[in-house]
Amino acid sequence: MTTIRPGRAALHVFIIAGCLIMVYPLLWMLSSSFKFNTEIFSNTTLWINDFTIDNYIQGWKGVSGVTFGTFFLNTFYIVGMSIIGTLLSCSMAAYAFARLNFTMKKALFAIMLVTLMLPFHVTVIPQYIVFNKLGWIDTTLPLILPKFFAVEGFFIFLIVQFIRSLPRELDQAAEIDGCGPIMKYIYLIMPLAMPALVTSMIFTFIWTWNDFFSQLLYLSTLSKYTVALGLRMFTDSTGQNSWGAMFAMSLLSLVPLFAVFIFFQRYLIEGIASGGIKG
């Protein structure tokens, strides 16, 4: 028979209370998004007296004829391309660092580690100037193209660590079977490194989704706006009397993040705990 110790129970109560304080703002935003604007401020509890989905319908219409559908599609496009670019370029570099030999390997690896610490503000101004000369301002190229050149060193590091933990015997077996280094990358290392690749994918998704600075910098036409930019424009244009619609769209913008969290929680938590990736 198990006995309930009072100390334990108190601890649970305390921790659950903490959880509630932490997520109350989010739950409140959720419930408010289903309330009429008049009710949002007169009723600050989570209970909904008068349920409506009007906020979602009004909000989805977006700003000056551009709907949130467009903003979402634009964001998914940028996120998708960023993921492809990051996985390809970072896994290639990681494979080279973890399994191949070449001159200056140690020095280059050290340089890669140093770039992890660099604030991107040092490079953003010259990059902007060059992209401007190339006529790429107000296109998605400045947001996507760098991802194909492994600018996120964190993922190289993460994948390197993972590949290093794979047994070398597998490599030797593949070599005996006549696998060259390129075949080994495609058919042996990449499938085995899948967990590290999934972690990299998830974090690329989250970072790109939450990125605001570079989108603000490079995108200026409304129809090219991402969800983050659309939301900001929406708050500026609708003003104080439509919090409901604003909450509804804010909440929708968090749904993809939440979905990733629910489906890939294990990879996410492990990525933070072991790889030292900022959450």
Partner 1 sequence: MQAIRTFWKNNWVGYFFLSPWLIGLICLSAFPMAFSLYLSFTQYDMFTSPNWIGLGNFTEMFQDRKYLNSIEVTIKYVLIGVPLQLTFALCIALLLNRGLRGLRVYRAVYYVPSLFGGSVAIAILWRQLFGGEGLVNEFLASFGIEGKNWVSTPDTALYTLIILAIWQFGASMVIFLAGLKQIPTELYESAKIDGAGRVRQFRSITFPLLTPIIFFNLVMQIISAFQAFTPAFIVSGGNGGPLDSTLFYTLYLYQKGFTHFQMGFASAMAWLLLLTIAFITALIFVTSGRWVYYQE
Q: Which is nearer to partner 1, 158 or 268 (CB)?
A: 268
Q: Does 162 bind partner 1 (CB under 8 A)?
A: no
Encoded amino acid at 226, one letter: T
Q: Does 26 bind partner 1 (CB under 8 A)?
A: yes
Q: How far is the CB of 55 from partner 1 (least distance, A)?
A: 14
Q: Does 106 bind partner 1 (CB under 8 A)?
A: no
Q: Does 144 bind partner 1 (CB under 8 A)?
A: no
Q: Which is nearer to partner 1, 223 or 274 (CB)?
A: 274
**For residue 180, what are the CA distances in angstroms to 89, 159, 175, 177, 258?**
20, 21, 7, 9, 41
Of 76, 77, 136, 261, the one binding partner 1 by CB under 8 A: 261
Exposed, middle or buried by CB within 10 Å (0-12, 13-18, 19+), for 14? exposed
Distance CA 228, CA 93 (A): 31
Of 34, 247, 264, 267, the one binding partner 1 by CB under 8 A: 247
Encoded amino acid at 9, one letter: A
Of 46-54, 74-82, 164-172, 244-252: span binding partner 1 (CB under 8 A): 244-252
Binding mask 182-221 for partner 1 (x = CB under 8 A): x--x--------------------x--xx-xx--xx----
Distance CA 65, CA 194 (A): 42
Q: How far is the CB of 150 from partner 1 (least distance, A)?
A: 4
Q: How far is the CB of 224 from partner 1 (least distance, A)?
A: 16
**For residue 32, what are the CA distances in angstroms to 162, 248, 253?**
44, 8, 15
Q: How far is the CB of 36 from partner 1 (least distance, A)?
A: 15
Q: Does 164 bind partner 1 (CB under 8 A)?
A: no
Q: How far is the CB of 52 from partner 1 (least distance, A)?
A: 18
Q: How far is the CB of 228 from partner 1 (least distance, A)?
A: 4
59-98 positions binding partner 1, by CB under 8 A: 88-90, 92-93, 95-97
Q: Which is nearer to partner 1, 69 or 276 (CB)?
A: 276
Q: Does 17 bind partner 1 (CB under 8 A)?
A: no
